[in-house]
Amino acid sequence: MTRLFNDPDDFAEEMIEGFAAASSRWVRPVTGGVVRSTRGAEPTVAVVIGGGSGHYPAFGGLVGPGIAHGAAMGNLFASPSAHQVHAVATAAHEGRGVLLSFGNYAGDVLHFGQAQERMREAGIDCRTVLVTDDVWSAPKSEIEKRRGIAGDLVVFKIAGAAAEAGMDLDGVERVARRANDRTRSFGVAFSGCTLPGADEPLFEVPAGRMAVGLGIHGEPGIDEVDTPTAAGLAEMFVAKLLDELPDGVTAAGARVVPILNGLGSVKYEELFVVYRSVHRLLTDAGAVVVSPEVGEFCTSFDMAGASLTLLWLDDELEQLWLAPCDTPAYRRGAVAGRREVSADELAALDDAQEIGESDEASRDAAAMVARALRAMAGMLDASAEELGRIDRIAGDGDHGIGMQRGSRAAADAASAAVDAGAGARTTLHHAGDAWADKGGGTSGAIWGEMLVALGTALGDEGTVTPDAVGAGITAMKDAVMAFGKAKPGDKTMIDAIVPFAEDLSERLAAGDGLTDAWTHAAGVAAAAAEATAEMTARLGRARSHGDKSLGTPDPGAVSFALSTQTVLDVLKENN
Reported as a single tens digit per residue, the pLDDT across 283-306 is 999 999 999 999 999 999 899 999
User: Rounded distance, CA 391 to CA 400, Å?
Assistant: 8
pTM, entire model: 0.82
Q: Which amino acid is at 23?
A: S
pLDDT in tens, 218-251: 677 788 999 999 999 999 999 999 999 999 999 9
Q: Which residues pair with 294 in a beta bridge?
A: 260
**Phi and psi based region of residue 551 (left: phi greater than 0; alpha: psi -120 to 50; beta: remaining):** left
Predicted confidence at residue 450, as pLDDT, reads 93
Specify whether 217 is catalytic. yes
Q: Is the model more confident about 441 or about 168?
A: 168
Strands 98-103, 46-53: parallel, antiparallel or unpaired by DSSP? parallel
Closest CA to 434 of 422, 424, 423, 445: 445
- Tell me the average pLDDT of the chain: 91
Predicted confidence at residue 541, as pLDDT, reads 47
Closest CA to 427 of 495, 478, 363, 375: 363
Q: Which amino acid is at 480?
A: V
Predicted confidence at residue 483, as pLDDT, reads 74
Q: Is the model more confident about 572 or about 341?
A: 572
Phi, psi (5° rounding) for residue 110? -65, -50
pLDDT in tens, 101-143: 999 998 899 899 999 999 999 999 999 999 999 999 999 999 9
Q: pLDDT tier at 545 (50, 70, 90 boundaries)? A: very low
Predicted confidence at residue 343, as pLDDT, reads 66
- Cα 559 off chain centre by: 19
Determine contact, residues 96/70, Cβ cutoff 8 Å.
no
pLDDT in tens, 354-393: 788 899 999 999 999 999 999 999 999 999 989 988 888 8
Q: Which of 55, 83, 217, 545 is catalytic?
A: 217
Mean pLDDT of all residues in 196-207: 84
Q: Is the model more confident about 477 or about 201?
A: 477
Q: Is the model more confident about 546 or about 37?
A: 37
Low-confidence winner among 180-184, 452-456, 485-489, 541-545 (lowest mean pLDDT): 541-545
Determine contact, residues 456/483, Cβ cutoff 8 Å.
no
Low-confidence winner among 155-169, 248-262, 479-493 (lowest mean pLDDT): 479-493
Find the angle CA(99)-CA(34)-CA(24) to the nearest 5 degrees.
Answer: 130
Predicted confidence at residue 537, as pLDDT, reads 66
Determine contact, residues 495/532, Cβ cutoff 8 Å.
yes
The number of residues making up the chain comes to 575
Residue 198, pLDDT > 90, answer: no
